[in-house]
Chain A
Amino acid sequence: MPRAQAAARKNAAAAACVPSRDGGWLSLRTSKRRNPSSRTGHNDDDGLPFSDEILLAIFACSGVLSLADLVRCGATCRRWLRLISTEAEFICRRSSAPPSASRCTGLAVGFFHQMPEGDPRFIPLNTSRFPSFELEAGEMFRAARVVVQGVHLLQASERSGIILFITSRYDQLNPSNCLYALDTGKKMAQPWMIVDALPDGICWWWPKSRGSFHGYEMDRVDFLASLGGRGDGGNGA
């Protein structure tokens, strides 16, 4: 795919998130989302009698909808996607994270796979594929082995260069854990990244160099705003 185009369509949130990279990683992640030809989108009527204001009150309803709920709402129809992405700030300001721990069950939401050539690709992770952390489930993970098990699960595939860090808690994602992981798993210098869904946003981590970590958080507002498209017009902003 044309890299220049991908970079140009990179959304602002991704840019903020990957300041030290050329943007190729996240562009890859987002560019397959929709092509411009599918964006006829003038008619985004969902058939509901509600005004935008009413819908926003529903999305922002305090403590009910999680980030994942809002992401799914964004896929429901174009009008909802437009509202959620353009009014992300309003929605997040009004809604507060529910106190329940269920929001933090978050396993890693995906990882970057270093291809033999080219850019690493983001692989979204559906953890239902790994009931009770059995890792031999798919071809992709045949070469995987568990390096650390317990609260954290670190999985490394020496063949494919995948390193996957799964945590149930944000505060367990810290540089010392990551360093430990690097020490334990040999030959894991390939770029990798951890993505986690948090109550307040999405968190990305990757090594700047061996032994040194960078963590970036994309907050809920930026993340939801990024759902709305690449700023190439037509999304009714």
Chain B
Amino acid sequence: MAAPESGDGNNGAARMVTLISSDNTRFEVEAAAASLSQTLQLTILDGGGGGGDGIPLPNVDSATLSKVLEYCIKHAPAAANGGAPNATAVDRAELERFDNEFVNIDQSVLYSLIMAAHNLEIEGLQSLVAKKVADMIKGKSPMEIRRTLGFPDPTPEEQAEMNAHMLEYGWAYE
């Protein structure tokens, strides 16, 4: 869905573009895959990123960018089909398996990925990482959430607020 009709028809599939990470690593990928990023899509449609040019991504380091592109390459064919209405159940199951494994990563990598997905506006990836964090939050107490996500320890005042909240909304803590 992220890649509208504009990306499929002409010779877009075979075209390659170059993306340059913040630490100056160059990544050459198919335009169709990079176009999952709405941020990049217009530039690519305008013919950018080809040849020796490359599109600089000053906010994304190479480790993160390679991870992002792994996602884009895997998802590009389905996206080119307009959300793949004709995809087989096997295809969908394979993508789901890929997604689940894809976010099974260190928290620091996950956080970088969240930032990158957001900067590059890759809709599917944004949902995927948001869901991962939501799953990490689900069913936990406020204190457990804080620990899971690596918040600083609460101040006594914050602790008191949490306790009061638990008393008041006991039903949410069952």
Contacts and interface: CB of A to CB of B under 8 A. Distances in A.
B89 to A, nearest CB: 19
Interface string A115-159: 000000000111110000000000000000000000000000000
A109 B171 contact: yes
Interface string A46-79: 1111110110011101101111110111111110
Given A46-B151, A61-B127, A64-B131, A124 B145 contact: no
B152 A47 contact: yes
Nearest to A95: B134
Contacts of B173: 68, 72, 126
A223 B12 CA distance: 48
A58 B133 contact: yes
Contacts of A62: 127
Interface in A81-117: 106-107, 109-110
B167 A124 contact: yes
B167 A77 contact: no
A46 B173 CA distance: 22
A197 interface: yes
A77 B146 contact: yes
A32 B137 contact: no
B131 A125 contact: no
B149, B164, B166, B171 — which one has the most chain A CB atoms within 10 A of its CB?
Answer: B171
Interface of B: 111, 114-115, 118, 126-127, 130-131, 133-135, 137-142, 145-146, 149-152, 154, 157-158, 160-162, 164-174
Question: Can you list the 4 inter-chain pairs with the closest CB atoms, starting with the nearest?
Answer: A109-B171, A75-B165, A124-B170, A71-B172
Given A59-B134, A77-B154, A124-B168, 15 more contacts: A30-B168, A34-B164, A46-B151, A48-B151, A53-B118, A57-B127, A61-B130, A62-B127, A69-B137, A72-B173, A75-B162, A106-B171, A109-B170, A109-B171, A125-B170
